[in-house]
Chain A
Amino acid sequence: MATERAGTWLPEAGKLELGSCCGPRMLSPERLALTDYEYLAQRHVLTYMEDAVCQLLENKEDISQYGIARFFTEYFNSVCQGTHILFREFSFIQATPHNRASFLRAFWRCFRTVGKNGDLLTMKEYHCLLQLLCPDFPLELTQKAARIVLMDDAMDCLMSFSDFLFAFQIQFYYSEFLESVAAIYQDLLSGKNPNTVIVPTSSSGQHRQRPALGEASMLEGVEASLFYQCLENLCDRHKYSCPPPALVKEVLSNVQRLTFYGFLVALSKHHGINQALGALPDKGDLMHDPAMDEELERL
């Protein structure tokens, strides 16, 4: 079974199945412009190498019995399949985007039936389920995800599986990005325009005066276009993964003003972003996993 599903890494393929950014072809100039170390770091190769060696050390008695080569094969196969994060510690799961996406996918596959059953669960219970897969998963992340679903209100409310899952996806996969976005949002709310301070951009930002912004903050949320400009800059210089800027623009173009959580909810419900991530199927297909059903039937 394991061999059947292995996504073998072919250089020409360019794109790994899960979690990678839109990969340029192998010999593209941007790729070759990076130094060796930077290149490796970008692909997180070193993370996996280090982890592999660490696992080897951990279990050397067992592994020595069936060979190191086989160990490495299995290890990287599982990385490709996305099963390497099962029951691992949180620091590893969080380490790379691919890991995060794999974890999301694993969570979906394992607990899809809970969603199918129609149970509405509390945030704590979802956290419990997460802990079944990762024993030291932090509560704060789950809480933040719940806040997205519940719009920062009534944290003891019950949530449906799909709502929680998509919100959790955004929160977990883009957690650093979201932190920066939150900071930007706060700045905008309080009247400071980070654009004027840090990066000189369009003139419209400079012409805005304090009283005018004060006016803006009396209405709920921030203005969408301004917000987008800040986010665009963020995406450019952010070294963590960000949602594709084009899609973010799509989200923000529909509304005049929006609140922070409104923005997050919109992100979580956006099909395009979900597909760009590639971890979870569309909302409509969330309860179906034909591959898994096939496997189960075979047993």
Chain B
Amino acid sequence: MIPGKYRSVSGRATNNVNCGLHLVIQTSSLPEKNKVEFKLHKETPSFPGRLLQHDLERNYSSRQGDHINLVSSSMPSFPILQRSSEEKILYSDRLTLERQKLTVCPIIDGEEHLRLLNFQHNFITRIQNISNLQRLIFLDLYDNQIEEISGLSTLRSLRVLLLGKNRIKKISNLENLKSLDVLDLHGNQISKIENVSHLCDLRVLNLARNLLSHVDNLNGLDSLTELNLRHNQITFVRDVDNLPCLQRLFLSFNNISTFESVCCLADSTSLSDITFDGNPIAQESWYKHTILQNMMQLRQLDMKRITEEERRMASVIAKKEEEKKRESQKQSLLKEKKRLTINNVARKWDLQQHRVTSIAANQDRKDSDSPSQDPCQVDGSTISAFPEETGSLDSALSNALQGLSVTDTHLVEVDGDTLSLYGSGALESLDRNWSVQTAGMVTTVSFTFIEFDEIVQVLPKLKIKFPNSLHLKFKETNLVMLQQFNALAQLRRIDQLTIDPQGNPVVSFTLWKYYVLFRLSHFSMQKINGTEVTQNDMIMAERLFGILAHVASSELPQYRLISILGDARKKQFRYLLETKGKKPGVVSEENNDSKRLVGENTNRATLNYTTRDFYNEKLEEIKEKKKFCKMYIEDLVKEATEINMKNEALQKLWPQMFIELVRDAVIEIRNKSSYMKLCLQQITDQK
């Protein structure tokens, strides 16, 4: 008789496929209809799915296994299966041969109505001898030793094919199984998804615990609802958006580390359930909200329902990340631009320094923004393609890196408390209107690739615009003479000085630090090139150069002192000099006073630095005066020599002249009467 309905196995057990598949097999009352319905619903996959097997066993094997006789046939390898006719009538459509220690598929005779065939837990290596069972709907070969899918080409009605826990290396030979509904290949050695595109009725595909490294080739599976890919080595997933019905995708325990490798999931509208646990991506801080943000259609993630709150959070975080990324991109772009500009400035600087002969040629180009003729400065042309940034000075992000002015000839940068200037063009930026806040925060000023002589000229501006600058740094500024340090004395205050050896030959001198300490003693500097200034250093500096200061102040004639010091100091110095004649003790006090008043040790004040150009200019100016002086003195000398000559001539002639005078007088007086007449006449003539 027709067997009654077999109810499903209840309980929370999972089957061996480990996807929460709960197989319910019911036969209808009309065997010829061959309608077998399968209901599939989820279970938690946490149990290794052997329990259902036991249940299945309970269902069939315990009832049937005892009645099976395996008779050895005439053919040596294949046993022949025979069932008692009772059995055949009772269970005409199902046959269970599990745990029969079978190594080959037996020949099954006279069972052409068979619809369910169970070969679980045997040692079968090849699927054979079942081609005649053309009504077969359910074939279970779980836990065997099958190495290749074969021998199924006649089973056109097959709906459920369970080949889990075998040794299959390749998906193949499924061409005729167009009605396949469930394909279970878990626990095999499959490394590639292929030859499944024709399975348009397939709803469940289980490829867990295989050797898949990527997922693609999924087109054609138009009915696929569930795809289990747990415990593989998958690094990226493609083509999932070609599965119109896919609702559940299990990717737990694979090797997915970025969202980009599974980005096709975002395009799948049908997906509602996905798992990523056990992948590297799940450890990332951005994992949850990235997934949620990109897959709005999801209802469950890692077997947990997604709440509205979570979604909201995810979108908020995602927005923030986007902003951050944009910001950092901007920053890196800026940095790159800066780097290129600095390189450009450095190259120009090198040209200036080394290739002196081509200075004339480069002079015109130095100030222009066009790339120079030097072929290695091809970068210059690409830089000019960048739009010139006129950054805001007072943006809200005043603490962040600000590239204020970036062209390809110079760079000005304010970074919190440091103002960095690259290239001589940058010095012009000191003329700008700096906000009090920005300028007040600057405590360090760094000069690179600028001639020191040029820096000297803008020091007064620096003093005014950046009053809090305490630390000066010089790199590649051509500091060659100790005298140049004299120019720094005009600043208000310096706490630290850093002179980078690169491009500053003065650092190679033994005495440079002491000279700096000596000349700038009124600043009481604390650090030079990173090392603290000790009392000993100060004493040594005084000892070495103190005499110079003394000579410079006390031994110069007053007019020279005044001309060197200039108008501003005249009065103060004159006052000091007048008091100098008094007790020496007073003098030193006065000096101290002046230190406080003027801010500088006046006996050093005469040690100035004029840039070479200025100096030469001055000498040029003096030339005219010198010429005039020379002529003037020559005239004086001529006059003097003439007078001298006349004097000498007079000396020589005088005796003779004297004698003549006397002779004339005597001759006159010889005749008294005529002399008296002569005198009287002279007197009357006078009237």
Contacts and interface: CB of A to CB of B under 8 A. Distances in A.
Nearest to A297: B584
A24 B545 CA distance: 40
Contact of A50 (B481, B563, B629): B629
Contacts, number: 132
A75 interface: yes
Contacts of B554: 1, 295
A49 interface: yes
A287 B345 CA distance: 48
B580 to A, nearest CB: 8
Interface string B46-72: 000000000000000000000000000
A50 B547 contact: no
Interface string A230-254: 0000000000000000000000000
Interface stretch (A15-23, A56-64, A191-199, A261-269): A56-64
A228 interface: no
B483 A131 contact: yes
B591 to A, nearest CB: 9
A113 B640 contact: no
15 contacts: A36-B644, A40-B637, A46-B637, A49-B633, A58-B625, A59-B562, A83-B556, A86-B552, A119-B511, A120-B510, A122-B508, A125-B510, A135-B615, A136-B615, A299-B550
B559 A71 contact: yes
Nearest to A49: B633
B194 to A, nearest CB: 77
Task: Among B511, B587, B628, find the residue whose CB has the most chain A CB atoms closer than 10 A.
Answer: B511
Contacts of A295: 550, 554
Given A87-B564, A111-B548, A299-B587, A128 B509 contact: yes
Interface string B507-545: 011110000000000000000000000000000100111
Contacts of B559: 55, 59, 62-63, 71, 74
Contacts of B544: 113-114, 117
Contacts of A110: 547-548, 551
A37 B637 contact: yes
B260 interface: no
Contact of B637 (A36, A71, A86, A117): A36
Contact of A109 (B505, B551, B587, B644): B551
Interface string A106-118: 1001111110010
A101 to B, nearest CB: 16
A84 B564 CA distance: 14
A113 B551 contact: no
Contacts of B510: 119-121, 125
A55 B633 CA distance: 13
A296 B556 contact: no
Given A37-B641, A46-B633, A121 B509 contact: yes
A86 B559 CA distance: 13
9 closest A-B pairs by CB: A36-B641, A74-B557, A83-B555, A53-B629, A54-B629, A125-B509, A110-B548, A128-B482, A50-B629
A75 B557 CA distance: 7
A290 B533 CA distance: 31
B607 interface: yes
Given A59-B559, A59-B563, A299-B588, A132 B626 contact: no
Contacts of A219: none
A86 to B, nearest CB: 6
A49 B640 CA distance: 13
B547 A109 contact: yes
B676 interface: no
A58 B629 CA distance: 11
B463 interface: no
Contacts of B630: 50
A89 to B, nearest CB: 6
Contacts of B560: 55, 86-87
A87 B606 contact: yes
Contacts of A125: 509-511
A111 B549 CA distance: 11
A78 interface: yes
Interface in B68-121: none
A110 B547 CA distance: 5
Interface in B599-620: 606-607, 610, 615, 619
Interface string A60-81: 0011001000010011011001
Interface string B550-580: 1110111111101110000010000000000
B286 interface: no
